[in-house]
Structure 1
Amino acid sequence: MNRTNYFNYIEEKLNTLAYRIEVKSKLNLLELNIHSENFFANLCNIIFGLELENLNFSYQNIDGIDLIDHKNKVVVQVSSTCTKTKIENSLSKNVYAKYKGYKYKFMSISKNAPSSLKNKIFQNPYSMQFNPKQDIWDVGLLLKKTLNQTVSKQRCLYNLIKDELGQDVDCVKIESNLAKVINILAEETLDINAGSPEINSFAIEDKILFNDLEYAKDIIDEYKIFYHRLDEIYSEFDREGKNKSFSVLQEIRRQYIELNRLNYTPTDIFYEIINCVIKVIIGSSNYIEIPMEELQLCTDILVVDAFIRCKIFNNPEGYNHVITR
């Protein structure tokens, strides 16, 4: 699912950034802290619907305030240190006398704030609007908020984080036949009303029931019709070299075998295979980037096809409706 892919990417990048900030701060290397102010401003604007801007662009080194939203009357202190002393030192700055009526937020960009900190009473000499339970922000809170966003909002966050924190080109990436098939399939005009006479729908239904995959039935039913076209692609693909299509199906099977060892439900295994295959494809040097929705569609088709071809999940007795590769 797109939601899962977006969130996993966001979670990995934010936690990696937080860890790097923590380690570098201990060494008094603070360049990440400075650059992160703009990044977290943009991130919080998407998540909370704010219009934060970096106050240090207008006034250098405003002690106590890093980000400000004049429209919504919000000020934010960004810090890699999250303690009661740090927050009280921030709240005690006389700059807050100019911002009566503004809400104060404290953003911890390294360690997550301990729950006990949010229950403490803070000295607040300038009477800023500050509720510790709601106004102490950290990466954990941002991830919780991200998890509950719409897919379109998650896509915005994904794009922002990819632009800011995306990895450089990996020179050791290798080619994969999975990526080759995806590249071919992505160029196809797929007719959702197509039929595939080679498929015995009753046998597929038996396999779904046999493996307790009722919650994956809709996606299997939707994409099983592309079996015939994918079979043609595999045949053309095999002309390039021996066992090429077999290698694709075996990679999908390998993901299934590894996941089947874990304590997952059959439905979780099915969808996690799709996620794992997407990671392999994206990590291939020969993958031609396509929109996430198209990549998801093509990968769904590949995994459903592997299900039909008896490469993943157990077959009920008499399941022989197609010739396996």
Structure 2
Amino acid sequence: MSNNRSKYFNYIEEKLTGLASRIDGRAKLNLLDFNVHSENFYLHFFNLLYSIELTSMNKESHNTEAVDLIDKKNKIVIQVSSLNTKTKIEESLSKKSMEIYKGYTFKFISISKDTRKLKIDTFHNPFSLKFDSEKDIHDIHTILKDILSMDIEKQKEIFTFIKKELGGEDDPIKLDSNLAIIIDLLSKENLSKTTDTIMKNQFDINLKIDHNKLISSRSIIEDYSLYHTNLDSKYKQFDLEGCNKSLSVLNSIRSSYLEECHLNPNESADTIFFRTIENVKSKVEGSSNFIRIPVEELDLCLNIIIVDSFIRCKIFQSPGFQ
């Protein structure tokens, strides 16, 4: 993922997940005003995202229960909800008022909750609306997955829209990160004196490479694995400054990896590997305490810490060896 793609996607993800979290939290307090605002937001957002022509049912003289948004041209009706239950969807599909929308596609948007279990369920649909639970139930995860696969110009367009709708007047405040600190420490290490020392309890790296079907990234893993002892010494130095310093770095890398796996379950292992590097790079460059270094040195350090995470089994499946 290019730097701009990472910047656009990370910002979009942050704002959409933040909105979902606020809606969920306020719903628990019975504060539902965000639901109304979200309905209007998703109207314009989905029009942009999927090139459709939704309008609000509030503008219709015959406001239909269970339908919030409608696209008459493409024959789509949408319900926007903070719930994610089978009962909610079936109640909507069963409303007598839905009879006039026979031939329309019904879509359900859960604006704050996960819908993965719903997508594999079956539903009572008495008025035979077009409804495929796998394709027509949306949540933040499915929306982000669609955005991730779009070309960079479309991502930029969505980024601009999200920033206008959900962003503040100023750019978000950058925070310090331990990732940036470990990059700084490693960049000052004389890596030319590195020798191929075997880490204690190190498994056969090639077994893990083969197990995960890594092909184009094999040479990177093999080349940079010899630096793990250098990084290990930096982690030990870092941990003298406080508890969980190195653990937080490794968990941040793992989080980036797991996010890629979740959003791109059908991508190759090599694609996940390189996208993880780019995502970690974005985190580092977005940190307020990142000390600028030449891009070649930054890439060197990033490759070292990602490969080290691979060796430590923080990313990719272990073949069962230690």
TM-score bucket of the superposed structures, by smaller chain: 0.5 to 0.7
- The answer on 1:151 being equivalent to 2:146 is no
- The answer on 1:11 being equivalent to 2:13 is yes
1:33-72 matches, cutoff 5 A: 33-59=35-61, 62-72=64-74
What letter corresponds to residue 161 of structure 2 in structure 1?
A: L
**Distance (Å, rounded) in 1 between the aligned partners of 2:169 and 2:99:** 45
**Distance (Å, rounded) in 1 between the aligned partners of 2:130 and 2:36:** 26
**Distance (Å, rounded) in 2 between the aligned partners of 1:159 and 1:42:** 13
1:279 to 278, 286, 311: 286
**Distance (Å, rounded) in 1 between the aligned partners of 2:107 and 2:85:** 14
**Distance (Å, rounded) in 2 between the aligned partners of 1:171 and 1:135:** 33
How many residue pairs get aligned? The number is: 225
1:304 Cα offset (Å):
2.5
Which segments of 5 or more consecutive residues in structure 2 lack a partner in the other structure?
176-190, 196-216, 221-248, 258-269, 305-322
| Corresponding residue number in structure 2 for 1:111 | 113
| Corresponding residue number in structure 2 for 1:94 | 96
What letter corresponds to residue 145 of structure 1 in structure 2?
A: D
1:1-325 matches, cutoff 5 A: 1-59=3-61, 62-115=64-117, 117-169=118-170, 271=278, 275-276=282-283, 278-280=285-287, 303-304=294-295
SS in 2 for 1:7: helix
What letter corresponds to residue 94 of structure 1 in structure 2?
A: K
Q: Is the 8 A contact 2:6 2:279 kept in 1?
A: no
What letter corresponds to residue 286 of structure 2 in structure 1?
A: K
**Distance (Å, rounded) in 2 between the aligned partners of 1:89 and 1:20:** 26
1:134 Cα offset (Å):
1.3
SS in 1 for 2:131: coil
1:276 Cα offset (Å):
3.8
Which segments of 5 or more consecutive residues in structure 1 lack a partner in the other structure?
175-205, 216-257, 285-298, 315-325
1:121 Cα offset (Å):
2.5
TM-score between the two structures when normalised by the length of structure 2: 0.57
**Distance (Å, rounded) in 1 between the aligned partners of 2:276 and 2:124:** 51
Kindly report the root-mean-square deviation, in angstroms, between the aligned alpha carbons of the 2 structures: 4.2
SS in 2 for 1:78: strand
**1:217-252 CA deviation, whole Å, 9 max, x = no partner?**
xxxxxxxxxxxxxxxxxxxxxxxxxxxxxxxxxxxx
SS in 2 for 1:125: coil
Q: Which has the larger radius of gyration?
A: 1
**Percent of aligned positions that are identical:** 41
**Cα distance, 1:61–1:276 mapped onto 2, change above 3 Å:** same
1:306 Cα offset (Å):
5.9
SS in 2 for 1:47: helix
TM-score between the two structures when normalised by the length of structure 1: 0.57
